[in-house]
A = this chain, B = another copy of it.
């Protein structure tokens, strides 16, 4: 059986994701598609729009055979660690391919970029550090340093100003660095533009655009054309049950209280919080009644919106620098859901898996798994859902 992996958030699963799955299956002649998917907090430092079980259901209904959780520590990390967690899980799951979306849909520029940066890595890292010290944000510094390295040659190099390309580059890097058996391939994205709002007359829109439209219209009616049926119905059921979707705007009272309860020293101990920004965070939380105003006060040239949101995620979930630094490679495969086809794959191949499968969290002392369970509790509590410890109770979703 050929297994092809994807590393995803599905926030929510839309027609663009459906296209990517179909193309990935075709390009690799895959028998099974395995998605490593973030849990309740995402790489941009935000709570997921709907919970991981709802997103698992959407994925299984639209061509994914196995959904595995990307643990919190990777899911909320910067690109290199996000990629490390995802790729190493796909390797443990014995995947043959990793398929990611990119603007050009050509793997060669990623391979060239990787060779280039690997050969000149120390000069590259030094340059980035120098540029960060001049006041550039990390992504800006990275890109400027990168542009300086690109030689005049017949090769094309990946455009690292695009978030998806940065991830793609790190997938290739991880796959090679850890000498995995995975072959990275890339599928061209259609209707690209992660930050685009919904455009009329198209059936593909970005996840960001879809979420924005729902939040602005307080209705999910108009986003129907952009979603597979199961995605639409899942969102519809969710909205009927909760009357809202998860967001920092919704969670703001709890986030604000958490910030204001802590001392500056305690805030500074949380992962990714650096260089005195704790004072600004506290001051802004004192002043601002809503999340957007708060962000406007905290953001600066130095820190991207995403970086600040990641700090907030870690403050919210009580996740410290110490915990971040002690994290290493994934230690378990957390199964969120499977189709019959996915189950067949598990039966045939799990004896070759290099990590244990966890179908339902039991008593465990694995700090990474405990953080996933903890994140679920705080997410549910902030949504107004009263059931704690769902990771211990909900079995893998079967379709």
Residues of A within 8 A of B (CB): 253-254, 256-258, 260-263, 266, 286-287, 289, 316-318, 377-378, 381-382, 386, 388-389
Chain B residue with the shortest CB-CB distance to A387:
B286
Indicate if the CB atoms of B257 and A382 lie closer than 8 Å. Answer: yes
Indicate if the CB atoms of B258 and A388 lie closer than 8 Å. Answer: no
Which chain B residues lie closer than 8 Å to A261 at the CB level?
258, 316-318, 378
With contacts A286-B389, A388-B286, A389-B286 taken as known, whether A381 is within 8 angstroms of B262 at the C-beta atoms is no
What are 8 A-B residue pairs whose CB atoms fall within 8 Å in the complex? Answer: A257-B258, A258-B258, A258-B261, A260-B378, A260-B388, A261-B317, A286-B388, A289-B386
Q: How far is the CA of A289 from the CA of B256 in the complex (A)?
A: 21
Which chain B residues lie closer than 8 Å to A386 at the CB level?
289
Indicate if the CB atoms of A286 and B318 lie closer than 8 Å. Answer: no
With contacts A286-B389, A388-B286 taken as known, whether A381 is within 8 angstroms of B318 at the C-beta atoms is no
- Which of A257, A263, A378 has its CB near the most chain B CB atoms (within 10 A)? A257
Q: How far is the CA of A253 from the CA of B254 in the complex (A)?
A: 9
Which chain B residues lie closer than 8 Å to A260 at the CB level?
377-378, 381, 388
Which chain B residues lie closer than 8 Å to A263 at the CB level?
318
Q: How far is the CA of A82 from the CA of B253 in the complex (A)?
A: 33
A-side binding surface: helix, strand, loop or mixed?
helix
A4 to chain B, nearest CB (A): 38
Q: Can you list the 5 inter-chain pairs with the closest CB atoms, starting with the nearest? A: A286-B388, A254-B257, A261-B318, A289-B386, A260-B377
Which chain B residues lie closer than 8 Å to A254 at the CB level?
253-254, 257
A289 to chain B, nearest CB (A): 5
Q: How far is the CA of A147 from the CA of B264 in the complex (A)?
A: 49
List 12 additional A-B contacts (Cβ < 8 Å) besides A257-B258, A257-B378.
A254-B254, A257-B382, A260-B381, A260-B388, A261-B316, A261-B318, A261-B378, A263-B318, A266-B318, A286-B377, A286-B389, A289-B386
Which chain B residues lie closer than 8 Å to A289 at the CB level?
386
Chain B residue with the shortest CB-CB distance to A262:
B318
With contacts A254-B254, A260-B378, A378-B261 taken as known, whether A287 is within 8 angstroms of B318 at the C-beta atoms is no
Which chain B residues lie closer than 8 Å to A253 at the CB level?
254
Which chain B residues lie closer than 8 Å to A262 at the CB level?
318
Q: How far is the CA of A254 from the CA of B389 in the complex (A)?
A: 19
Q: How far is the CA of A223 from the CA of B317 in the complex (A)?
A: 44
Which chain B residues lie closer than 8 Å to A378 at the CB level?
257, 260-261
Q: How far is the CA of A262 from the CA of B257 in the complex (A)?
A: 14
Which chain B residues lie closer than 8 Å to A258 at the CB level?
257-258, 261
A323 to chain B, nearest CB (A): 10
Q: How far is the CA of A318 from the CA of B259 in the complex (A)?
A: 11
Which chain B residues lie closer than 8 Å to A317 at the CB level?
261
